C-alpha cells in the first residue's frame, strides 16, 4: 500500500504538528530583553509589548503558551479546509503544513508575539469564511473583524492586513449593514487601547502614534539581509510552492464548488497581502508565522494535483528541511 500524502488523515497530521511545535519551542532562542516604553509618563504599552515583556520575564511559560498557540492555529486551519472541502478530497494536510511553514523559515526572537498574531489571523480567516452564508452573518463577521482589529495591537507591522476586511466584504458579497458591524469590530481594539491610554494619563492618540512609528521603523528589505541562508532557502521553497499551487488552482478553476472556490480566492488575497508585508521597512522575522496561515491552505492544492509518487518526496523533503532549519537556528 502506497502512502498518499494528499489524503493525510488526522492522527499523523496532528502528531506532525505536535512534534514540530515541541521541537521548535525546545530550540527557541535564548533570553529576550524587553524593549523599553521610552519613559513617557502615563504611556500604556500595546499588547505586543506586554507579550514581549512576558516572554522576557517567564521564558518557560512563554514557550508553553507559544506551543499551544501553534497547536490551536494548526487545528483551526485544518478545520477550515475540512469544513469547506477546499480540495475535493478529505485531507488534514494543512495542519502539518502550517507547522512546517511557521516553524521552518524563522520564528524570530519575539516568537510569542509572532504566534499570537498568527493565531489571530487564522481566527479572523475562519470567521470570515463562516460569514459567507445565506442570510446575514453579523455574529461571524463581527468576531472576525474583532480578531483582525487585535492583530495590529499585537503585531504592529501587520497593520496593513486590515485590508482583509474590504476584501472579505467584496468576495463574500456581504451587505452594507454587515460591513458597518464588521467595521465596528475592527476599530474596537484600537479604540479601547486609546481609551486606556487616555485613562492612564497619556495621550488619547498615543497608541495610534506608536502604530505609525512601528510601521515606518527600519529599512526596506532589511529582513532579507538579516536572514540566515537556510531560512532564505525555506522562504524560496514556500514562494515556489505558493506560486505553483496558485497556477494549479487557476488552470482548473471550476474543479471545486462555488463556496470552496471563493474561500480559496479569499485566502489568495490574504497571501498576497502578507507577502507584500515582507517588503515593508517594519518587517521582522515574526512575519513568517503570518505567511504560514494562507500558505497552509493553498499549498495542498499542489499536493492534490500532482502524482503521489512526486508528492511524497516533496513533503518528506520539506519536513526534513524544517527540522534541520529549527535545529540550526
What confidence tens digit (pLDDT) does each residue in 233-285 have?
A: 999 999 999 999 999 999 888 878 889 999 999 999 999 999 999 888 888 88
Place 185 in a pLDDT band, splitting at 50, 70 and 90. very high
Mean pLDDT, rounded, for 173-180: 91
Q: What local confidence, expressed as pLDDT, does residue 38 receive?
A: 43
Q: Tell me the pLDDT of the chain averaged across its residues.
A: 87
Residues 44-78 have pLDDT tens digits of 678 888 899 899 888 899 999 999 999 999 999 99
* Residue whose entry in the numeric block shows the C-alpha cell 505553483: 244
pTM of the predicted model as reported, rounded to 2 decimal places: 0.92
Residue 120: pLDDT band by 50, 70, 90 thresholds? very high
Angstrom CA distances, 234 to 302, 308, 322, 325, stand at: 17, 22, 8, 8
Q: What is the pLDDT of residue 255?
A: 76
At 29, is the pLDDT very low, low, confident or very high (cuts 50, 70, 90)? low
pLDDT at 35: 54
Overall average pLDDT of the 118-129 stretch? 94
Please state, in angstroms and rounded to a whole number, the distance separating the CA atoms of residues 168 and 176: 13
pLDDT tens-digit readout, 79-103:
999 999 898 888 899 999 999 999 9
Cβ-based neighbour number of residue 18 at 10 Å: 17
Distance separating alpha carbons of residues 121 and 117, to the nearest angstrom: 6
What is residue 211's predicted lDDT score, i.e. its pLDDT? 82
pLDDT of res. 221: 77
Tens of pLDDT, residues 129-151 = 998 888 888 999 999 999 999 99
DSSP string for 252-298: TGGGS-HHHHHHHHHHHHHHHHHHHHTTSTT--GGGHHHHHHHHHHH
In this prediction, residue 40 has a pLDDT band, given cuts at 50, 70 and 90, of very low
The CB density around residue 222, as the number of other CB atoms within 10 Å, is 15
First to last CA, the chain: 37
Q: Is the Cβ–Cβ distance between 320 and 19 less than 8 Å?
A: no
Are 280 and 157 spatial neighbours (Cβ–Cβ below 8 Å)? yes
- Give pLDDT, residue 280: 85
At residue 206, the pLDDT reads 78
Q: Which long-range contacts (CB under 8 A, 24 or more apart) does 125-128 make?
A: 125/80, 125/164, 125/266, 125/267, 125/270, 125/293, 125/294, 125/297, 126/76, 126/79, 126/80, 128/164, 128/168, 128/172, 128/266
Gap between the Cα atoms of 302 and 93, Å rounded? 11
From 113, 117, 134, select the one nearest 51 (Cα to Cα): 113
Amino acid at each position: 500500500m502506497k502512502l498518499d500524502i494528499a489524503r493525510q488523515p488526522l492522527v499523523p497530521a496532528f502528531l506532525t504538528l505536535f512534534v514540530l511545535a515541541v521541537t521548535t519551542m525546545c530550540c527557541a532562542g535564548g533570553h529576550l530583553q524587553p524593549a523599553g516604553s521610552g519613559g513617557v509618563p502615563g504611556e500604556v504599552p500595546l499588547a505586543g509589548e506586554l507579550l514581549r515583556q512576558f516572554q522576557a520575564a517567564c521564558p518557560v511559560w512563554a514557550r508553553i503558551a507559544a506551543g499551544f498557540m501553534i497547536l490551536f492555529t494548526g487545528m483551526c486551519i485544518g478545520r477550515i479546509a475540512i469544513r469547506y472541502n477546499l480540495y475535493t478530497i478529505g485531507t488534514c494536510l494543512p495542519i502539518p503544513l502550517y507547522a512546517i511553514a511557521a516553524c521552518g523559515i524563522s520564528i524570530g526572537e519575539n516568537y510569542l508575539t509572532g504566534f499570537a498574531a498568527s493565531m489571530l489571523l487564522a481566527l479572523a480567516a475562519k470567521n470570515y469564511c463562516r460569514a459567507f452564508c445565506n442570510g446575514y452573518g453579523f455574529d461571524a463577521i463581527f468576531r472576525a473583524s474583532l480578531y483582525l482589529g487585535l492583530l495590529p495591537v499585537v503585531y504592529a507591522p501587520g497593520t496593513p492586513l486590515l485590508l482583509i476586511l474590504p476584501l472579505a466584504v467584496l468576495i463574500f458579497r456581504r451587505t452594507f449593514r454587515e460591513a458597518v458591524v464588521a467595521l465596528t469590530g475592527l476599530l474596537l481594539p484600537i479604540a479601547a487601547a486609546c481609551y486606556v491610554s487616555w485613562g492612564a494619563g497619556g495621550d488619547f492618540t498615543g497608541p495610534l502614534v506608536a502604530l505609525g512609528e512601528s510601521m515606518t521603523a527600519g529599512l526596506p528589505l532589511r529582513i532579507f539581509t538579516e536572514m540566515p541562508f537556510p531560512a532564505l532557502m525555506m522562504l524560496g521553497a514556500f514562494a515556489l510552492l505558493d506560486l505553483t499551487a496558485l497556477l494549479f488552482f487557476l488552470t482548473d478553476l471550476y474543479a471545486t464548488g462555488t463556496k470552496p472556490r471563493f474561500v480559496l480566492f479569499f485566502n489568495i488575497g490574504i497571501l498576497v497581502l502578507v507577502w507584500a508585508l515582507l517588503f515593508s521597512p517594519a518587517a521582522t522575522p515574526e512575519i513568517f508565522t503570518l505567511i504560514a496561515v494562507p500558505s497552509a491552505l493553498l499549498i495542498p492544492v499542489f499536493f492534490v494535483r500532482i502524482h503521489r509518487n512526486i508528492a511524497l518526496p516533496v513533503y518528506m523533503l520539506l519536513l526534513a528541511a524544517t527540522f534541520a532549519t529549527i535545529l540550526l537556528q
